[in-house]
């Protein structure tokens, strides 16, 4: 089953290959959460960004797909999606 260590290994690869994206992961809390379908970033207390990953989904991915998943979630952070979503009335549509 996926572990925080597995996610950290991919994060380290990202930091070495693409430092811009990898730096976002350095202080970001990471959690395994079977209640979500895939992966997501969310705000804790309105200011701390947390990465959550479904461990079964994580395990279904090959290593390069795991890398892409982490990078995808970081792009939500880099593009400030968590902070501007409140400006949109239809949250499910915005998420798409």
Q: How many CA atoms lie within 13 A of 70 on its CB side?
A: 29
pLDDT in tens, 27-83: 899 999 999 999 999 988 878 999 999 999 999 999 999 999 999 999 999 988 878
Token pair in block for residue 7: 């996610």
CB-based contact 67:59 (threshold 8 Å): no
CB-based contact 82:72 (threshold 8 Å): no
Answering whether pTM is above 0.95, one says no
């Amino acid at each position: 089953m996926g572990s925080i260590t597995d996610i950290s290994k991919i994060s380290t690869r990202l930091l070495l290959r693409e430092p811009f994206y990898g730096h976002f992961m350095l202080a970001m809390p990471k959690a395994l959460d079977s209640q979500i379908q895939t992966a997501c970033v969310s705000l804790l207390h309105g200011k701390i960004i947390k990465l959550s990953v479904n461990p079964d989904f994580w395990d279904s991915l090959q290593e390069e797909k795991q890398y892409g998943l982490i990078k995808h979630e970081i792009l939500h952070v880099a593009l400030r999606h968590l902070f501007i979503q409140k400006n949109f009335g239809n949250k499910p549509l915005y998420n798409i």
